[in-house]
Structure 1
Amino acid sequence: MNLLAFKLIITPLLLLAASLAVRRWGETIGGLIVGLPLTSGPVSVFLALQYSPEFAVRATSGSLAATAAQAAFCLVYCGMATLGWPAALAGASVAFAVTAALLQESGLPQGGLFLIAVLSLAFTLYLTPSSAAQGVRLRPPWWDLPVRMVLITALVLGVTLIAPHIGPGASGVVASFPLMATILGVFAHRLAGPHAARQVMRGLVAGLFGFAAFFYVIGLMLVHYGLVVTYFSAAACAVASQVFALHQMRRHGGSKATAA
């Protein structure tokens, strides 16, 4: 299977799995799942294969900066949710761009970016509501999943195409924009109100600990241990982080969101 075919198959399948998980287990757990590097992880693999492992390692700095930026995105979206999804999405997107740009320009090493990411996630999780969303079962239109899959595939293809022109750091940031969470959050917001959207965002923040661990491991290992060992180790760390986050959320009753 060539690289283009792999991109066209694996990316939409990952989104399909995440979307079905939201419908089965609710907004909070769905947000937790989309916190995994379902888009940026494949992009990182493709960057390593197409350009070089060193390029992919440099891109992890952008991904770690974008982790803190995603926390800012979620915090602002939750704060503005009562104003409607267009205003909340616009404000959250500005927060993402500003935070990512500031961290990119800071020149911090990967260890520093990882620490900032973890602290920002913990701070955001502390400030966002943890109660479950209440409401009727959501019934999406027939075209919902196909549109989501096309958008995500276009993002992956676009980032890997423009990566050599915008550089590794910017590639990591663009690939890490929370597009899946935006799609799921806006959908929940439109059909079930701001509270449901907040649960997607809270789940995303909890899931981003695994996201940060994934890219930190890649930055440490990729050049020295190769693609297979590195990405397997990074994925294992991300999944372990998600399992811990899920356990914590269940302890605090945050997994009972309405199914989408």
Structure 2
Amino acid sequence: MSLIVFKLTLPPLLILAASLAGRRWGDAIGGWLVGLPLTSGPVAAFLAVQYGPDFAAAATNGSLVGTAAQACFSLGYVLIAQRGWLAALVCGTAAYALAGLLLQSLPLAHWGFFLVALAALIGAARFIPHRAAIRVTVPTPWWDLPARMLIATLIVLTLTAAAAFVGPKTAGVLASFPVFGTILAIFAHRISGATMAIQVLRGMVLALYGFATFFFVLGLLLTTAGVLPAFLAALACTLLVQTGALRLLRRGHSLKAA
């Protein structure tokens, strides 16, 4: 019963906190926040509790594949952004699916998937153009926050229940789809135009370095250090990487503004 309670409360609370922070400090920071493992992190924790550390460790490879696929999603969206949000969404989703399908079949070790994720992020950051900082919070309808919280809860419940059937790696890939980054980018695109959506996705790409670090460290330690120490170490490493990414994001904005 306690596990169900955690599944019903932890994901929506994380999404609520990240969404409110994005509204407070602007959509570029919102994109940085939604790049964190706000749904895939809880999914990994519940997989470890339900199916054991070995299963959850295997799922981290899928999450690293998902990291690379998120970079492909962002790049695909940005390349078509000037043609409208719907065409950009279709292109980004197709890029995610294709990258996830191809990369998860590679016979790589854990560190190999990590290097693939880093290479994809570097490529995406290189080709997603940097825009001048626009500190704007996109107005959203009243149902936006409840919908995000509900979606996060449904993702966690569905993937933890289906993981035994689809396998750990596929579960990791599915859990990594940028649902909330997509929502934020579409709202920004529809209300403020393609430039704002590009800013959101650039912030998300920078945040994904921390995302990749989280699952790399988690996969290394789950079967050797135990579940709780592995998650604490992964979280600590992620926060260090995220601090650097946030400084880079702010520095780039300051240079552009100057």
Corresponding residue number in structure 2 for 1:73: 73
* Alpha-carbon spacing, 1:70–1:228, altered in 2? closer, same or farther (3 Å): same
What amino acid does structure 2 have at the position aligned with 1:243? T
Corresponding residue number in structure 1 for 2:236: 236
CA contact (8 A) 1:22 1:30 kept: yes
What amino acid does structure 2 have at the position aligned with 1:54? D
CA contact (8 A) 1:26 1:256 kept: no
Deviation at 1:19, TM superposition (A): 1.0
CA distance in 1, matches of 2:246, 2:240: 10
Q: How does 1:1-260 map to 2 (within 5 A)?
A: 2-132=2-132, 134=134, 137-253=137-253
Deviation at 1:182, TM superposition (A): 0.8
Unaligned runs of 5+ in 1: none
* Alpha-carbon spacing, 1:83–1:221, altered in 2? closer, same or farther (3 Å): same
Q: Deviations over 1:170-229 (max 9, x none)?
A: 000000111110111111111111111111110110000000010000111011111111
What amino acid does structure 1 have at the position aligned with 2:223? V
Higher relative contact order (CA 8 A, sep 6+): 1
* Alpha-carbon spacing, 1:88–1:133, altered in 2? closer, same or farther (3 Å): farther
* TM-score (norm: length of structure 2): 0.95
Q: Deviations over 1:83-112 (max 9, x none)?
A: 111111111011001101111111111111
* Alpha-carbon spacing, 1:38–1:178, altered in 2? closer, same or farther (3 Å): same
Off by >4 Å, runs of 4+ in structure 1: 133-137, 254-257
CA distance in 2, matches of 1:183, 1:8: 21
Instruction: Give secondary structure in 1 for the equivalent of 2:105.
Output: helix
CA distance in 1, matches of 2:136, 2:65: 37
Instruction: Give secondary structure in 2 for the equivalent of 1:130.
Output: coil
CA contact (8 A) 1:28 1:254 kept: no
CA contact (8 A) 1:19 1:184 kept: no
Q: How many residues align?
A: 257
CA distance in 1, matches of 2:165, 2:227: 23
What amino acid does structure 1 have at the position aligned with 2:54? E
* Alpha-carbon spacing, 1:255–1:215, altered in 2? closer, same or farther (3 Å): farther
* TM-score (norm: length of structure 1): 0.95
CA distance in 2, matches of 1:207, 1:68: 13
Give identity over the alignment, percent.
50
* Alpha-carbon spacing, 1:173–1:158, altered in 2? closer, same or farther (3 Å): same
Instruction: Give secondary structure in 2 for the equivalent of 1:105.
Output: coil
What amino acid does structure 2 have at the position aligned with 1:96? Y
* Alpha-carbon spacing, 1:89–1:233, altered in 2? closer, same or farther (3 Å): same
CA distance in 2, matches of 1:137, 1:215: 30
CA distance in 2, matches of 1:76, 1:249: 21
